[in-house]
Chain A
Amino acid sequence: MVMLKLMKYEFRKQAFSKMVILLLVGLIELLFFFGIITDKSDVMGTAMGILTIFTFGALFFLAFESIITFSNDLKQKSSYMLFLTPHTSYSIVGAKVLAAAIQITLAGVAFFLVYSLDIAVLVGKYQLEALKEIINHFLQEVFSLNIQFQDIAAVVAVIITSWISTITVAFFSITLSATFLANVKLKGLVSFLIFIALNYVFGRIVNMSLGKVYDVNNFNNLVMYYSLISLFMLCFTIITYIGTSWMLDKKVSV
């Protein structure tokens, strides 16, 4: 319940950017459907191109915004609103991590639905045999168990856990700069270097641990391989989450 209230305000703090993203996706879709109605393939192509670039930009921005919000919560006076509430730093950071995870996942699902709609409309209107074949082939692969659902789920899990791990490593680095590095010159740069170094070390740990055990080219190992990567990412998330919360509890002054 406590976490839900904290998460509610995390969502509220970042609501404006979601509205802007929604509005822009709406405009791109309007352009796309204008192309459909007027039979202008160049307009449709342009809209799909913009949507593709925008998707990557928006997903990257969402993760970045969670990090910026955390940084602001340590550096701006509005941090009092958060840190005066009678909650442990573990609840506060936990709410931020969960809110970030939910936002990224929901945004991914939302973009998937937009793409599905556009493709369905294209196929419906133009009977695009080639496109239909690709989709049918894809579905056949999925349902004939050539590609199983767990394969897709494992890949999606790796993407999500990697993103969340990146966010918590960033939280950890920012908190370090506000505590143990508070008196260091260029602490922002130092914390960024720590962020890069931690991600590199975590990447090396994964590669060293799994690289020798699993042959990535062996398709049968894919689910287990990606599941173990997700597990590693989850561990890194927990370690950096606990580290961040501990520093906030014991060392941070806002």
Chain B
Amino acid sequence: MILQCRDLVKKYYSKTAVNGISFDIDQGKIYALLGPNGSGKTTFMKIAAGLVKPTSGTITYKGNEIGPVTKKRIAYMSTEPFFYNYMTVADVGKYYNDFFEDFDVKRYEELIDRMELNMKDKSKTLSSGLAAKLKIAATLARKAELYMLDEPLNGIDIIARDKIITTILEAAKEDVTLLISSHLVDELEKIIDNAIFVKNGNIALMGEAEDLRVKHGKSIVELYKEIYA
């Protein structure tokens, strides 16, 4: 396993976003983190990315506490736009290149081209779809060990979704792990190895996707509907 969390809790005021979850993420697999808005997916990812501190519990990546060492190896893409307003698409690439040793400039240029973005475009003037593509390009241009993509298909039109999924799958290699959250379960069903269903900050169900299908006699989409209906 590479990512290990035990009894992880995160409380905001009186609200509990993550309620004592424990699970492991294995290397070289594609995980779907599933659940409706407010179920705790984003908070969990932010804890693993080092942006949010847990109220209690532990989380480690390859035995290291979340911090500068793990940030070198984990590439996180948030669901919200987060680039500085002054930045152009080219500036985003320079910023990532300045701070992440695993950033591949050529790969970034290739992805920008594929996403039909222009290096001179200002990030704040991009449409939501193009902004989402820029986030994906910057994140996937890193040669990280673990990619955490929070709602990567948000704002992406139905035509471009296949292109995004293909790009995400290009990052999936034997030693690379992907953790993808999405409410577009049918889009993920085709590509995932494992599924984690999160409900009210707890793990409602988790396991290998194929095992879950066989055991419950239902697809991941049907299980999703059953759990959250």
Binding site for B on A (CB under 8 A): 5, 8-9, 12-13, 15-16, 77-81, 83-88, 183, 250-254
Contacts and interface: CB of A to CB of B under 8 A. Distances in A.
B76 A84 contact: yes
A23 B137 CA distance: 37
A86 B68 contact: yes
B84 A253 contact: no
Which 3 residue pairs spanning A and B have beta carbons closest together?
Answer: A86-B71, A80-B82, A253-B52
Contact of B83 (A5, A81, A88): A81
B50 A84 contact: yes
Interface in B42-97: 46, 49-53, 67-69, 71-72, 76, 78, 80-86, 95
B82 A253 contact: no
A19 B60 CA distance: 45
A77 B69 contact: no
B100 interface: yes
B98 A5 contact: yes
A250 B65 CA distance: 12
Contacts of A81: 82-84, 95
A5 B99 contact: yes
Interface of B: 13, 46, 49-53, 67-69, 71-72, 76, 78, 80-86, 95, 98-100
Given A77-B82, A80-B82, A88-B68, A250 B99 contact: no
A16 B84 CA distance: 13
B68 A87 contact: yes
17 contacts: A8-B98, A9-B95, A12-B86, A77-B82, A78-B83, A80-B51, A81-B82, A81-B84, A81-B95, A83-B50, A83-B51, A85-B100, A86-B68, A86-B71, A87-B68, A183-B13, A253-B51
Given A9-B95, A252-B53, A253-B51, A86 B100 contact: yes
Given A12-B86, A15-B86, 13 more contacts: A9-B95, A77-B81, A77-B82, A79-B51, A80-B78, A80-B82, A81-B83, A83-B51, A85-B71, A85-B99, A87-B68, A253-B51, A254-B52
A16 B100 CA distance: 26
Contact of A78 (B46, B71, B82): B82
Contact of A77 (B50, B71, B80): B80
A120 B95 CA distance: 43
Contacts of B53: 250-253
A13 B85 CA distance: 9
Contacts of B85: 78
Contacts of A85: 71, 99-100
Contact of B71 (A15, A79, A84, A252): A84
Nearest to A254: B51
A87 B98 CA distance: 12
Contacts of A8: 98
A147 B220 CA distance: 82
A78 B49 CA distance: 15
B92 to A, nearest CB: 9
A77 B84 CA distance: 9
A254 B80 CA distance: 13
Contacts of A87: 68, 99
A79 B51 CA distance: 9
Contacts of B52: 253-254
A88 to B, nearest CB: 6
A103 to B, nearest CB: 17
A79 B78 CA distance: 12
A183 B13 CA distance: 6
Contacts of B95: 9, 81
Contacts of B50: 83-84
Most buried by A among B69, B80, B81, B98: B98
Contacts of A78: 82-85
B9 to A, nearest CB: 13
Identify which of B53, B80, B83 gathers the most chain A CB atoms within 10 Å of its CB.
B53
B78 A86 contact: no
Contacts of B99: 5, 85-87
Query: Which of A5, A15, A86, A251 is the most central at the interface, judged by chain B CB atoms within 10 Å of its CB?
Result: A86
A211 B78 CA distance: 54
B72 A77 contact: no
A77 B72 CA distance: 20
